[in-house]
Amino acid sequence: MGRVVLLEGDITEQSVDAIVNAANSALILGSGVAGAILEKGGDVVQSECEAHGPIAVGAAALTGAGALPAGFVIHAASMSPGGQSDAASVRSSVRASLELAAGQGFRTVAFPAIGAGIGGLSLQACAEVSLEEVRSHLEGETSLEEVRFVLMGEPAYRVFEMVDDAARVARQMARMTQKS
């Protein structure tokens, strides 16, 4: 089974098979994570997004990464342009991103806090949904060996850490209950 890694840092600096962009369904790279990808990856990433065209909310699309150290960018659309994210759209876009990564045979992928920030979803809800989807995916058949959550700032990191710890304790308690 693959592992989940939590990091505080800049997702655009990750040397992984793919980084995930917290995208809108029009695949327009605006601000937040998308803006950083455009700034550091270059206009080629936006050009590939435009060639791909819009995708449904909850879906994911693959482009090259331009000048970024990652090999590819997976654009996880958790909202429409100018819209808001919710738990269902984040869950669906995280799942679609994981399936796309595994379908490409990727071993490493890095996620931001999809749907939080510009998307309007609380960090707590984002962490709960995202970590649950990743763990569920890693329990199945997949090429992914490591899924990183690269979180901007200590507060975001701490929320993901707290949610991850709580889930770990719940799994451990469930195993103990089964044994007795």
What residue ranges define each of the domains in the chain, with the CATH number in brackets?
Answer: 3-179 (3.40.220.10)
Confidence (pTM): 0.93
Residues in the chain: 180
> What's residue 99's pLDDT?
98
Residue 19: what residue type?
I
Close Cβ partners of 176 (under 8 Å, ≥ 6 residues apart):
none
pLDDT band at 180 (very low <50, low <70, confident <90, very high): low
8-state DSSP, 139: T
**Residue closest to 57 by CA, chosen among 32, 33, 84:** 84
**Residue closest to 124 by CA, chosen among 152, 89, 161:** 161
